[in-house]
Amino acid sequence: MNVSFIQPEQQLSAYVACIWVFESRLGIPIADSRIIVPDGRARIIVPYRNAVCAAVNNRLLNAKEQHIFLVGIQSGPVTIGSTATETGTIGVELTPKGLYHFFHLSMHEITNRLVSFEEVFGLWGARLQQKVGDAPDLKAKIELLQAALTRLLQQNEKEYALLDYTLDLLAQTHGMIRIQGLEAQIGYTRRYLDRLFQEHVGVSPKSLARIMRFQQVYQLWMQQASSTFLREHWPAYYYDQSHFIKEFKHFTGFAPQKYQEIVNEFGRAFSTRE
């Protein structure tokens, strides 16, 4: 199993966090728990060799081989799987800004879901899918995907100053800013922000802040690889231990102590990308 990371082109860097390639001779390892935890990012995935599937909220989502899919922000843990054969998947991880700068969709409708580019873009999406599928190598496939995103970005003439500014505040504080403080800084009500975020991001500001705060703790823990890290550092992010355990279980499916005991090298490979 190998996961490699590629920096996006400069013009996409505010909207694409990273591009990754997953390759394995025997698919996604069944001995691993294969858990991907929420990170506040939507994704474009291209299973160019072998199909992949995802268990989300007791539903099974299937991503067919040689198709291109847009995956909305996830609100809970996702378990990934595939058949035990040669497997290759490209992933383009979008920042929360990327969703509405690239796509004109009601984003709440794709939260915890995946939709094909052909469904979103019709004939253009089908043609792009064909071109990427026919491309001779990984480099060419990724170049085609980045060229398509650049075109979508250039076609979008709308201004999203309020959304961009609010998302910047959430990112800068790692989700630690209170929603009341967010309202005070930007001068809009929580109700208006909720409606704006549900439409263009897919989750409310509070939900995204929860994910960002959890990710800050989770990423630091992955980098430390210490059994004592969570116990010593959660007070900086959560007001009491029960709150921390509840949030950790919500986003991983396990209590912290139990999660440390499971094998999740697949999830770890994606969680230590920063």
What is the tens place of the pLDDT at every residue in 186-207? 999 999 999 999 999 999 999 9
Least confident of 39-53, 70-84, 90-104, 227-241: 227-241
pLDDT value for 273:
56
Domain with CATH 2.60.120.10 in the chain: 2-155
Structure-token pair, residue 50: 């072998």
pLDDT digits (tens, 9 = 90+) for 158-189: 889 999 999 999 999 999 999 999 999 999 99
Domain with CATH 1.10.10 in the chain: 161-271
pLDDT digits (tens, 9 = 90+) for 244-253: 999 999 999 9
Residue 113's pLDDT band (cuts 50, 70, 90) = very high
| SS3 assignment, position 100 | helix
pLDDT above 70 for 274: no
pLDDT value for 206:
96
Task: Classify domain 2-155 at the CATH superfamily level.
Answer: Jelly Rolls (2.60.120.10)
Q: How far apart are CA 128 and CA 123, in angstroms?
A: 9
Specify the pTM. Answer: 0.93
Least confident of 18-32, 53-67, 77-91, 220-234: 220-234
* Cβ burial, residue 249 (10 Å; 0-12/13-18/19+): middle
pLDDT value for 270:
78
End-to-end CA distance of the chain: 19
Residue 263's pLDDT band (cuts 50, 70, 90) = confident
Q: How far apart are CA 152 and CA 97, in angstroms?
A: 13
pLDDT digits (tens, 9 = 90+) for 116-134: 999 999 999 999 999 999 9
Q: What is the mean pLDDT of residues 97-111?
A: 95
pLDDT value for 226:
66
Q: Which helix (H) or strand (E) holds 117?
A: helix 117-121
The CATH class, in words, for 161-271 is mainly alpha
